[in-house]
């Protein structure tokens, strides 16, 4: 297929302010078209389930049941909105912080946490959920998404690939190579940057001097869009439009969701060493769950009974996760070595034998 080009122009530039449909206090932004009630209620349910899942996963770390958990508390609307804007047959390429995205996609909570329990590289079947394994190296999932989109284009499928990327990943070579290839070959990809303000402890101001991460799209000849990542309605709308463009052959889009990671990077991080309390408090007032709840309640689309039912569903999810995860037996130690090489090396066989002998002595 011949490569296509698109001359960069002003229309590729993101707006100065992020797209927002619902204000932080739950009021609708005037003259903006919101997604329908069914979509917004589904987003609210996913937000509540995701928030409860996050709390339970963090508790499991403290109980020694998980090796680590990178919380997405505060940026759930970005993950929920992005996934719900896609079709189930579209593919997502998540990072280690995108467990809420996987939950929204319908992956079993225990299977989501298998990676973070240190048992397998991926606990679910990617082909069943159209969700690639969670990626720990920064930005390597972006070329994976591009590769899948390239294949889909060659097969004349209308599949869209969405790559979740953190703000830190935008400094990696893989990110730029992926954007360039996707733009040159006009591939159906949405690059979704969750700008949670810190790459571990490095603030955005030390990450890039571009006006926004979305502005980087211009250099590759694709549109860049800024969206309020704490506004699930806005993310639904913006990613939905980017997916439509991709599906209809208009090429990739770079979306930057401006949000904030309320919790520390992981349980191994002390965020108080690099973030002032007042900064965190400022973002707490923009909470994505409370924002959508307020809008739905004030507009008569959510009542006390429905809210209580969703809260009960979230508690059931957490209880089931606790029970099943604790009851899960660790895989045999031999499996650490079983899938490294088709023909294990002598050193690997020696290591396996050493581990086996040590396990038998205990």
Residue 188 has pLDDT above 90, yes or no: yes
3-state SS class at 55: helix
- Taking only Cα atoms into account, the Rg of the chain, rounded to an integer number of angstroms, comes to 21
Q: What global pTM score does this model have?
A: 0.92
Cα of first residue to Cα of last residue in the chain, in angstroms, is 60
207-261 residue pLDDT tens: 999 999 999 999 999 999 999 999 999 999 999 999 999 999 999 999 999 999 9
Q: For residue 130, what are its two tokens? A: 């159209």
Question: 178 forms bridges with which residues in the sheet?
Answer: none
CA pair distance 28, 324, nearest whole angstrom: 41
Q: For residue 132, what are its two tokens? A: 């690639």
Residue with tokens 């939905």: 240
253-311 residue pLDDT tens: 999 999 999 999 998 899 999 999 999 999 999 999 999 999 999 999 999 999 999 99
What kind and span of H or E run contains 80? helix 76-84
7-30 residue pLDDT tens: 444 589 999 999 999 999 999 999
> How many Cα neighbours within 13 Å face the side chain of 347?
2
Q: Give the chain's mean pLDDT.
A: 94
According to the model, what pLDDT value does residue 107 have? 98
């Amino acid at each position: 297929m011949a490569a296509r080009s698109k001359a960069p122009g002003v229309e590729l530039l993101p707006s100065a302010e992020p797209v927002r449909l619902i204000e932080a206090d739950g009021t609708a932004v005037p003259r903006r078209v919101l997604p329908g009630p069914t979509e917004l209620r589904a987003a609210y349910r996913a937000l509540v389930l995701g928030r409860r899942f996050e709390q339970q996963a963090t508790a499991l770390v403290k109980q020694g049941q998980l090796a680590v958990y990178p919380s997405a508390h505060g940026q759930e609307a970005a993950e929920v909105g992005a996934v719900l804007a896609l079709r189930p047959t579209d593919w997502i390429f998540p990072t280690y912080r995108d467990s809420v995205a996987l939950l929204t996609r319908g992956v079993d909570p225990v299977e989501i946490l298998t990676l973070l329990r240190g048992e397998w590289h991926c606990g679910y079947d990617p082909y069943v959920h159209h969700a690639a394994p969670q990626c720990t190296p920064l930005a390597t999932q972006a070329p994976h998404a591009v590769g899948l989109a390239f294949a889909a284009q060659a097969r004349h499928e209308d599949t869209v690939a969405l790559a979740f990327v953190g703000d830190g990943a935008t400094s990696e070579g893989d990110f730029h190579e992926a954007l360039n290839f996707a733009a040159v070959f006009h591939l159906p990809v949405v690059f979704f940057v969750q700008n949670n303000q810190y790459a571990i402890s490095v603030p955005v101001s030390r990450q890039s001097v571009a006006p926004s991460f979305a502005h980087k799209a211009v250099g590759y000849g694709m549109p860049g869009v800024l969206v309020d990542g704490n506004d699930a309605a806005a993310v639904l709308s913006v990613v939905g439009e980017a997916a439509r463009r991709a599906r209809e052959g208009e090429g990739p889009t770079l979306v930057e969701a401006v949000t904030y990671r309320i919790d520390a990077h992981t349980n191994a991080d002390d965020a108080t060493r690099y973030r002032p309390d007042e900064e965190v408090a400022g973002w707490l007032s923009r909470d994505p769950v409370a924002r959508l709840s307020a809008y739905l309640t004030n507009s008569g689309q959510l009542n006390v009974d429905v809210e209580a039912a969703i809260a009960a569903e979230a508690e059931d999810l957490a209880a089931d996760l606790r029970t099943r995860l604790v009851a899960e037996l660790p895989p045999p130690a031999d499996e650490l070595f079983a899938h490294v090489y088709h023909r294990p090396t002598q050193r690997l066989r020696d290591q396996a034998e050493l581990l086996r002998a040590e396990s038998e002595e205990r």
